[in-house]
């Protein structure tokens, strides 16, 4: 065991307490939180009470919690504190062999000592039917002590032998006989226990003990005894054995009862610990400091812009209700997965540009910018709307990709003004428009840290040669951000700006300023690949596009019962569109609802009312709803003109 810098080993601390010439005290704890509270109160050591730990686990103090379960609690307690822990080891959980294995495992977790009692396994609590409890054979228990001491690797590991002779009603003579035998077997201290409300048994023992080895007491029952009397008797260590548990139980019972009866938090809020104190005890500030020190964002102010405005019209029904970024994969949306990746890297400043079905894109502590003309504008326009968020150290990406954390790490530590992530392995040739790039030289293992410079980006090159696929993930530093913002402003003056793409921006920048490329080999997926994998069953948890749970996540349920059939039962009509047709059938479709219905159709059909009529007619025909559209043109004519005409 290696002590933390500036601290004695925990075993040495406990041995010093046991052997101190002054009366010392240790306090009960039953989990990491209570252990930290004990340490902060000023106690020099912790009593890991068997009664308290078992009670906290909801079981009896009869060895119902296994020793490995108790050990797990102790590990959390030890990790949280710098003072020693003396474990209430009951009988050692079996014979000598169990006891020595226990010692090995305690030492591995920096537990400073163990107290073993001379009862039989499984034990019963000392204060329940105490005089009916049988005691272990003296020689057998001495063998257990010797085995434990022979097993310890740290010479300062403390073994306290606890005799229950008084508890079992066997008297002073038996208590002395056992205590002497245990001391001779190698125990570091004797715990003499009594269930009496007075201290006479302890006094009688101390008068005859003659300080052979240190004595530990537990004055739970004789609590009214003045502490100075313990000093005069020569007691070495006092254990306050269960009061944190009992205090917490009383507090929780009172608060629960009050809240139950009053049905409000108004009168209890001032009586409980503030949330800030809980966060402090958990070490929230330490994590913030560690993030600054260890994350690749250390010393830098990073932010992210996620372009999640696109409608997956080429994905069919899968994306008819939601943006591509909100398609679920293995229980989480693509966008949620991205956001988690950024937050893990310490990037908390996140901005999402929304467009299609923007109401489905809602996240706590994430800023949003809306591109309400997403159907008429190119992808570059969304970035233009977010241009004020392009700052020092900004990551920019499409919302419909996922990537492994090392890809993001590679990008964050790069110091170039503008850096693109390019997949050198990509050889996809499908109907979807992908961005391929040419660079100053192709990917090679020999490149190492040699800079690679972007030359051109296009969906396809005339010579059909490219050096990889741009994965729509890139970063700018302070200088790069200024270049991107200025170029966006210049391009915005162009008459065709709203139809431009990211390729136009990067190609324009590359004319006057170098753009760096970082190659990767796979380690990412775009939405088209994700969907294909899910369709083929390659993902373990194939998603259900319209399950109530997922629709709730995407903010679309609004109390609606969408049904379990899903999109595959809709005959080519999205449920969102079908909902309004159903409402029309029931005579409850408002003009505003009709507008929403049309808003979710391709806007190319909106140029004139006749095309709107045709669209609705075709939709109705598909679901045999034509009978419910006796005069769609009349309904359309009732809408305000600016809501039916294309801008």
Distance CA(527)–CA(327), nearest Å, equals 8
**Confidence at residue 313, expressed as pLDDT on a 0 to 100 scale:** 60
For residue 469, list its beta bridge partners: 423, 436
Q: What band does 3 get if pLDDT is binned at 50, 70 and 90?
A: low
Q: Are 248 and 34 in contact (CB under 8 A)?
A: yes
Query: Cα 62–68–73 angle (5° rounding)?
Result: 90
- What is the chain's mean pLDDT, rounded? 81
Ramachandran angles phi, psi of 110, nearest 5°: 60, 35
Q: What band does 533 get if pLDDT is binned at 50, 70 and 90?
A: low
Q: Based on the number of CB atoms within 10 Å of its own CB, is 353 exposed (0-12), middle (13-18) or buried (19 or more)?
A: buried
Distance CA(408)–CA(31), nearest Å, equals 37
**Confidence at residue 385, expressed as pLDDT on a 0 to 100 scale:** 94
pLDDT-above-90 percentage for the chain: 51
Which of 22, 61, 210, 627 is an active site residue? 61
CB hemisphere CA count around 354 (13 angstroms): 15
**Confidence at residue 451, expressed as pLDDT on a 0 to 100 scale:** 81
The CATH superfamily of 311-532 is: Spore Coat Polysaccharide Biosynthesis Protein SpsA; Chain A (3.90.550.10)
Of 278, 295, 244, nearest to 56 by C-alpha is 244
For residue 159, list its beta bridge partners: 114
Comparing 270-284, 304-318, 492-506, 611-625, the range with the smallest average pLDDT is 611-625
- 3-class secondary-structure state, position 198: coil
**Confidence at residue 311, expressed as pLDDT on a 0 to 100 scale:** 72
Distance CA(117)–CA(161), nearest Å, equals 6
Q: What band does 4 get if pLDDT is binned at 50, 70 and 90?
A: low
- 3-class secondary-structure state, position 622: helix
As a residue count, the chain comes to 647
pLDDT digits (tens, 9 = 90+) for 207-238: 999 889 999 999 999 999 999 999 999 999 99
What lies within 8 Å, CB to CB, of 132 at 6+ separation is none
Query: What average pLDDT does the segment 99-113 reach?
Result: 96
- The rounded Cα 307 to chain-centroid distance in angstroms is 25
More confident residue, 377 or 591: 377
**Confidence at residue 61, expressed as pLDDT on a 0 to 100 scale:** 81
pLDDT-above-70 percentage for the chain: 76
The CATH superfamily of 10-241 is: Phosphoenolpyruvate-binding domains (3.20.20.60)
Here the tokens at position 199 are 């201290």
- Known catalytic residue: 118? no
- Long-range CB contacts for residues 412-416, cutoff 8 Å, separation at least 24: 412/296, 412/297, 412/302, 412/345, 412/475, 413/296, 414/475, 414/516, 414/518, 415/477, 416/451, 416/477, 416/480, 416/514, 416/515, 416/516
**For the chain, which residues make up each domain, given as ranges?**
10-241, 249-291, 311-532, 570-644
More confident residue, 522 or 237: 237
What lies within 8 Å, CB to CB, of 274 at 6+ separation is none
More confident residue, 197 or 298: 197
Distance CA(148)–CA(143), nearest Å, equals 9
Query: What average pLDDT does the segment 442-467 reach?
Result: 85
**Confidence at residue 641, expressed as pLDDT on a 0 to 100 scale:** 39
**Confidence at residue 185, expressed as pLDDT on a 0 to 100 scale:** 97
Here the tokens at position 603 are 């806007």
């Amino acid at each position: 065991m290696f002590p933390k810098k500036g601290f004695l080993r925990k075993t040495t601390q406990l041995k010093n307490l046991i052997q101190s010439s002054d009366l010392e005290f240790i306090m009960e704890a039953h989990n990491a939180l209570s252990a930290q509270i004990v340490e902060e109160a000023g106690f020099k050591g912790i009593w890991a009470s068997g009664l308290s730990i078992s009670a906290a686990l909801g079981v009896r103090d009869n060895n119902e919690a296994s020793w490995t379960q108790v050990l797990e609690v102790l590990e959390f307690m030890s990790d949280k504190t710098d003072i020693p822990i003396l474990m209430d080891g009951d009988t050692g959980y079996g014979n000598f062999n169990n006891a020595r294995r226990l010692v090995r495992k305690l030492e591995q977790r920096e537990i400073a000592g163990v107290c073993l009692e001379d009862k039989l396994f499984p034990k019963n609590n000392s204060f329940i039917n105490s005089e009916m409890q049988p005691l272990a054979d003296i020689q057998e228990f001495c063998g257990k002590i010797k085995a434990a001491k022979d097993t310890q690797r740290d010479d300062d590991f403390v073994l306290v032998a606890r005799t229950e002779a008084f508890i079992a009603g066997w008297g002073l003579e038996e208590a002395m006989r056992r205590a002497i035998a245990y001391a001779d077997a190698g125990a570091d201290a004797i715990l003499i226990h009594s269930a009496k409300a007075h201290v006479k048994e302890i006094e009688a023992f101390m008068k005859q003990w003659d300080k052979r080895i240190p004595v530990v007491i537990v004055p739970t029952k004789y609590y009214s005894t003045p502490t100075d009397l313990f000093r005069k008797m020569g007691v070495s260590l006092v254990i306050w054995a269960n009061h944190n548990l009992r205090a917490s139980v009383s507090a929780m019972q009172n608060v629960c009862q009050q809240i139950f009866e009053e049905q409000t938090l108004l009168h209890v809020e001032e009586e409980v610990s503030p949330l800030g104190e809980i966060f402090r005890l958990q070490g929230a500030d330490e994590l913030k400091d560690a993030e600054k020190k260890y994350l690749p964002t250390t010393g830098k102010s990073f932010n992210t812009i996620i372009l999640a405005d696109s409608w997956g019209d080429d994905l069919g029904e899968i994306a008819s209700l939601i943006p591509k970024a909100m398609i679920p994969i293995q229980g989480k949306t693509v966008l949620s997965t991205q956001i988690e990746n950024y937050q893990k890297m310490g990037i908390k400043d996140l901005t999402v540009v929304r467009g299609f079905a923007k109401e489905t894109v809602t996240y706590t502590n994430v800023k949003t910018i809306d591109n309400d003309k997403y159907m008429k504008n190119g992808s570059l326009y969304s970035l233009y709307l977010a241009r004020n968020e392009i700052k020092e150290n900004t990551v920019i990406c499409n919302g419909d990709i996922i990537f492994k954390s090392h890809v993001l790490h590679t990008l964050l530590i790069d110091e170039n003004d503008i850096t693109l992530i390019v997949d050198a392995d990509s050889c996809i040739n499908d109907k979807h428009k992908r961005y391929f790039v040419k660079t100053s030289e192709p990917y090679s293992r020999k490149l190492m840290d040699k800079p690679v410079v972007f030359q051109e980006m296009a969906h396809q090159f005339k010579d059909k040669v490219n050096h990889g696929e741009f994965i729509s993930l890139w970063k700018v530093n302070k200088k790069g951000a200024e270049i991107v913002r200025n170029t966006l402003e210049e391009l915005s003056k162009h008459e065709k700006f709203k139809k431009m793409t990211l390729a136009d921006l990067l190609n324009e920048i590359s004319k006057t300023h170098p753009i760096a490329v970082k190659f990767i080999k796979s380690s990412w997926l775009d939405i088209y690949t994700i969907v294909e994998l899910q369709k083929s069953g390659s993902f373990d948890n194939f998603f259900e596009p319209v399950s109530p749970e997922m629709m709730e996540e995407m903010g679309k349920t609004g109390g609606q019962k969408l049904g379990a059939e899903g999109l595959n039962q809709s005959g080519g009509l999205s449920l969102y569109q079908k909902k309004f047709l159903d409402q029309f059938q029931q005579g409850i479709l408002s003009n505003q609802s009709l507008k929403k219905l049309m808003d979710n159709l391709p806007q190319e059909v909106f140029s004139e009312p006749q095309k709107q009529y045709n669209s609705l007619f075709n939709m109705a025909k598909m679901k045999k709803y034509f009978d419910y559209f006796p005069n769609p043109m009349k309904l359309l004519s009732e809408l305000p003109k600016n809501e039916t005409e294309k801008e």
